[in-house]
Structure formats: structure tokens, C-alpha cells
Amino acid sequence: MNPSALKSPCYCLASALLISTLTSCGGGGGGGGSPADRLVSFATISGSSPFFGVANNRSRSVDKRTGPALSGLRDMAGMAFDPASGVMYGYMDRARELVSVDLGTGEPSLLGHLQGGVTLQAMTIDATAGILYGIDEERNLRRIDADSRDSSVIGNLGSFAFSSMVHDPIGQCIYAVRSSSGTELVCIDLTTAESTRVGGGLDSDYKALAIVPASGQLYSLNSNNGEFVMLDKTDGSVTMLGESPYRNMTAMAYHAPSDSFYSVARPGNQLVRFDRATGIASSDAAIGFNPIGGMAFDPSTETLFATETAGDKLITIDTEKARGRVIGDLGFADVHGLAWDPDRQLLYGSDLATSSLISIDPLTGTGTRIGFMATEDIRSMTYDPVQRILYGMDRTTRSLFAIDTSDGGSTEVMVVAGGNVEALTFDSLTGKLYAIDNANRGGYMLEVDLVGNRTIPIGLTGMPGTTALACNSGAGFLYGNNSSSAALLNIDPMSGQAKSINHVGFNRVSSLAYDPRRQVHYGVADRDRLVEFDRETGSSVGIGKLGFDFVGGLTFDPNSRVLYLADQDALQLLRVDLITGAASPVGPFGLDINSMAFDSSAGVLYGLGSSNRLFSVDTATGAATEVGPLMGGRVDELTYDPTTGSLLGLSTEGFGSILLQIDRVRGESKEIWRFDAMIDAISNR
């Protein structure tokens, strides 16, 4: 097996089609969650530039999005940037640790506990003096020395609860969000700790504050809906700047060198960056296949295999970039419990649909039934290469079985203590069997002692819903999946702590348009949100809400730099603000337009009607004029190729898609290429 081939970020089909992918020991199993759309690219005809499309959840061909390993940051109660030292400080509530944060990787470095066992609810910094301030659990305002981690009490803040604080170098006070009967913005005196109410009626979800020291302007994040806002220090009023797809952000800090704000979002503990000028949020997070049924690691080629149950595929995952690649169809509907057999160089899987043990060819992904298993809910499996025993865990009975690889017969070994044990893997170097119990809300790692017939608790993973495991013995860590966030995890077997390697982004991208000057794609995601895609990495950021929730036909006019959209509810043409994402009406079509494409050479906006008719659309009024009917089959999506001057269409057939070249004079269409994936949206490069 060639590991470089398995980990390649892309692969070619014939000569004209390129699809871009995203994205040691035993195996694991189980999975659930919401699959997301994939960005795919392809060349259309000789001499044309690559085109991009979004493959939907039904097709399962390849996935996308890249990013470095993300953070071990958890439960951040405060963040503060020191411009003098260039250090981003953070305080992790659950661990009660002061940390410094690497802004490139999102990794924290532990600085230690505060002296005297002091724990904080919020933290900020006087950037000029380099002094940290915090509010402890007794609601005392404290001055903190970051080097010695010693602190002194300034005064008590009373019976109020505080969720965030920030130092204002201009006003020489600390602004904080406090809660009692309502949520208020207050100013705290640095010498007496007395607080003065600035404004009330704040949404209780504004739990993060930051300030731009030069101007004294306050900013905040809404932990519930991801809104990025500006706060007025005189009355506490809110001005919306942008909205992100990230949630549960309870701390933020201003980073002067990049003129941006940093925060940490959960689940996944992602380090998120907000651009102050645009309000756009971004993260080095990535998306993979979901749901994952099982994982197994081949140490000889360092290949991580996984099954995707929604598409019935065997895939491999690049463990550095969390990129996935499809190997092939399994031929079985619900394969979990993947395990690698190094002696026979094949994979075992548990097909829940037929209660069968199957063998899987790692080169083709094809599964072959070995035999029925006596137990019906084997969701995780792992292989002991020393004793040559295949183990399987029944989630319903919590029983561990030894499975006969010749006929699928199973023998009970022991009952594993735990409420919901789903993931299982074996470390061939240490001879230890590991499992994850998801009954605990944080996910608990266990060691299964086969000799003593007991389980040994190791620690919380911090990632609830870890339903598949695979061990990399050589590297000394485990791989896991997170079913709720579609993340690939790196798990320390000594502590049980998990770090996210990739994380879910936007679902259901229904329309794409390309900006050649900025070399980015715009898309409509989650029905009503404008997002931006990096065409090289597939990474995405949210721009803002459109204000219309039944839209399609996104297209870009590169000459006047205008983004157009079709409102399919009110049957009207919309213009979209590239900075805020807000759409505004131009005028009525007078009919139903499903897709649009802008011919940049002729300056004509074309629209596709529901009756398979082609229209030209007046960009000043929105009025549509019929060009003629399209012959040769139904067309679902339109786009324009500026390289060849061709108008192209996309048609769905069965579980695949067809790319068409459209004659604008005669209305005839000619087939260019067929895909084995269902493509929802298409745009030129």
C-alpha cells in the first residue's frame, strides 16, 4: 500500500476532471451528527479554468477544508493581550490555570495556578502597565502579577455575577458585564472596586468584552448567536458589526498587530479571529466526513482508515491536515467498529444492518461478509496483533466479546463498567485496551483490564460524543472522532484529554459565485447566510445574514463588482453587500428565476426559469426577458466561463450530475462531463 497515494489531497479522473479533497494499533466505532456539504473543483473543457461546485450530503464523493491542529483551550474565563511582551494570556476556568496562547496554532502553554488557590471568573490587562486584573469566585477585584502569579485584593464587588471585563486605558476604569435581575454594562473603579452602571437591558449572552486601547472603543460577542458588536460606553447600546457561525465564546481580547480580536469557541475549542474592520470571523478549522462509523490505524503505512456510515464509504484521513479521501463503496449499509489486521493486511468491520462481521479490502473499500455475529450492537472493534484476537464492544449490553475472524462467532469476555461505552482501541506496544464512556457529559477515557476484569478511569476527554478510536502506538496517542462537531481528535492516553484537529463549518451551501480580483468564492449557506470560501484551502468564513431565507442563483459581476441573488419567495432580483452580507431588492423578475449567471464579456445577466427557459435580466430593474427554451434536458444551475466565453449548465440525473454547454442563440445544450456526485452549486474559477 502506498501511503503517499492514500494521503494525497486530490486525485484525477481522466484528464479533464479534478476533484479537490479537503479535509498506531486497533480501531473504533460508532458515530452520529450532521454531514456537511463539500467543495469540489473540476476543469470543464480544454483550455478552460477550473470550476468549483458544492457536493451535497446525498452523494458522498470527497470532502474538503484544511487547517492545522487546533487547540487544547477549554472553558476560557478571560483573555488579554500584552502588546509589550507580545503574549496573549488566557485563564482556563475548569483547569484553573493561567496560560499563554500561541496565535498560530491555538495551543496553550501552562503558566500555572494563581498563588493562594485563587480562581477567576473573568480577566483583563492594563496594556500600558502590563498588569493583569481579575474577578475571583468571592467577587473580589484582584491585581495579578503574571510572572509570579501572585495577586492582591483591591475591593469587593458585591453580590453581582460578572461574566466579562476589560480595562480602559483612556477612562482608567474596568468595564464589565454584570448580572443581577438583569444584565448591565458597568464601570469599575481601579482603586476602590466601586462599580457604576453605564447601561442596562443588555442581552445576557454578551459574555465577552474587549477594547481597542488607542480609541477606547468597546466590543463584545454574543455567545448564543455569534454576533460581533460594538458597545457604546455612555449608554450600553449595541451596534451590530457581523455574525459568525461560531458559538459559546465567553472570552475575547484585542490583538493590536493584526487589528483583530481573538476568542475561543466550543465545541472543538477553536481559536477564532474577528477582523475589526469587516466583522468577519475566521478559524483554521476544517471539515471532514460525518458521521464516522469506525476508525482503524495501519502503523506500517501510517494510514488512518474510517467508515462513513451516511455514504457507506471507506475513507482515509490525512492525520496532519484532517483531509479525507474516499477509497470506495463498502457495499454494506451501516458499517461500524473498524479494526486493522496487520497479519492479513485487511480491515474488519461490523455491519449493524445485517449483524455481520465483514472483511474490507483497504485498496478498494469493498466489503465481504464473513458471517453473522451472535450479538447485534457491536459498534466498536479493535484487533490485538500479539494474541491475534479481534475484540468487539456491544453498546446495548456493555459486553466485551472475542470475535472469531473465520466465521463471526463471538464469545463474551467481560462486562465493561460504564453507562455508554462506544469506542474501543488496542495499543500494541503497551498491550492496553482503551475505551470511551460517553455517559459522562464530558466523555471519559477508560483502560479495560482484561486480566483483572475491571475498568480503570483515566480522565475526561472534554469532547462529549467521541464514538470512534484508533491508536497510533508509534506516536503515543489516539485518534478519535467527535460526532457532534465532525472533528478529528488527538487524544492523550495518559490523561484522556482530547484536542481538535478539524472542525465542522457551514452546512448546505446552495449557491456559489467567484470574485476573480480577490480570488475567493462567495456562497449561500444555511439558507440565509453569505459566506466566503478560500479556493485553495476550502476554508470558509461567515460574512453576514442576507435578510432573505429563500434565495438562489448567486452570481458576481466582476466589471462593476456587484453580487446578485434571486429572491425565490418574492420573485425579485437582489443586490448583496460584500462587506455585511445584507441583500437589498432591485426589482421584480415577474416570474420564477432559479439560477443566474453573469456574462462578463457581454455584460448580460442570464436567469434560468422553472420552466427550463433562459432569460436575460435587467440589472437596473430586475425585469426578465425571455431568450428562449433550453432543449436537451432539464438544467438546474447556471454559470459562465470567461476563458471560453461559454454559458454552462448543471443537471442532476439519478445520484450524479451532468455539466452542459449551452448555446445562447439556439437554446441547445451539449453534454461535457458526467459526475458520480450530486453537485448542488457551481461557479467559475
pLDDT at residue number 14: 21
- Is the Cβ–Cβ distance between 467 and 274 less than 8 Å? no
Q: Which residue has the cell 484582584?
A: 142
Look at 167-171, 186-190, 351-355, 359-363 and tell me which has the smallest mean pLDDT.
Answer: 167-171
pLDDT at residue number 365: 92
Sheet holding 140-144, edge to edge: 120-126, 131-136, 140-144, 151-156
Q: Count CB-CB contacts under 10 A for residue 631.
A: 12
φ and ψ at residue 4, rounded to 5 degrees: -65, -35
Our CA dihedral for 640, 644, 648, 650, rounded to 10 degrees, sits at -110
- Is the Cβ–Cβ distance between 659 and 671 less than 8 Å? yes
Q: What is the pLDDT of residues 103-115, one digit of tens each?
A: 765 666 778 788 8
φ and ψ at residue 303, rounded to 5 degrees: -105, 130
Q: Which residue has the cell 439556439?
A: 666
Q: What is the pLDDT of residues 619-641, one digit of tens each?
A: 999 999 988 887 666 777 777 77
Compute the distance between CA of residue 1 and CA of residue 299 in angstroms, rounded to an integer: 12
φ and ψ at residue 117, rounded to 5 degrees: 70, 20
Give 578 or 281, the one with higher predicted confidence. 578
- Is the Cβ–Cβ distance between 241 and 281 less than 8 Å? no
For residue 318, how many C-alpha atoms fall within 13 Å in the half-sphere facing its CB? Answer: 25
Q: What is the pLDDT of residues 280-309, one digit of tens each?
A: 776 543 333 556 778 888 888 888 888 877
Q: What is the pLDDT of residues 615-624, one digit of tens each?
A: 899 999 999 9
Residue 488 has pLDDT above 80, yes or no: no
DSSP character at residue 513: E
Q: What is the mean pLDDT of residues 138-157?
A: 90
The DSSP-derived string for 549-574 is SSEEEEEEETTTTEEEEEETTTTEEE
Compute the distance between CA of residue 447 and CA of residue 41 in angstroms, rounded to an integer: 44
pTM of the model: 0.38
